[in-house]
Amino acid sequence: MIEEKLREMARTRKWAHGKLLEKGSKVYQGFIRMEEAAFSDGTLSKKQKELIAVGISVCVDCESCMQWHIEQAAAVGAAYDEVLEAVEVGMEMGGGPATVSARFALQVMEAVFAS
């Protein structure tokens, strides 16, 4: 069940990305440049930055963000337990409502780290 939702979210993200690029959205192109700058290795590694983004995603209850940043964190070598700690930081920062968001994050983690 969660796997199909994640596939659909990824399809929609890719479709919207392509459509915004096709239409020449200057705002979206600026966002992409900002994202590339924000997540490039610096004093903090890309992995550390992705883990921060996981916690923020839980705190602000953005399911698409949780999916993207959990996948990106795993892709750059974050372990399940590292992602879990990032989710827990998001829960602490967001309080009770963030524990609800964390449920979705846990489902994404199970799908991403299943293999």
Residue 33 burial (10 A CB sphere; 0-12, 13-18, 19+):
exposed
Instruction: Give the residue extent of every domain in the chain.
Output: 2-112
**What count of other Cβ atoms lies within 10 Å of the Cβ of residue 20?**
16
pLDDT of residue 1: 83
pTM metric for this prediction: 0.92
Q: How far apart are CA 49 and CA 39, in angstroms?
A: 6
pLDDT for 115? 65
Q: Does domain 2-112 have CATH number 1.20.1290.10?
A: yes
Neighbours of 12 (CB within 10 A): 11
List pLDDT tens digits, range 2-53. Answer: 999 999 999 999 999 999 999 999 999 999 999 999 999 999 999 999 999 9
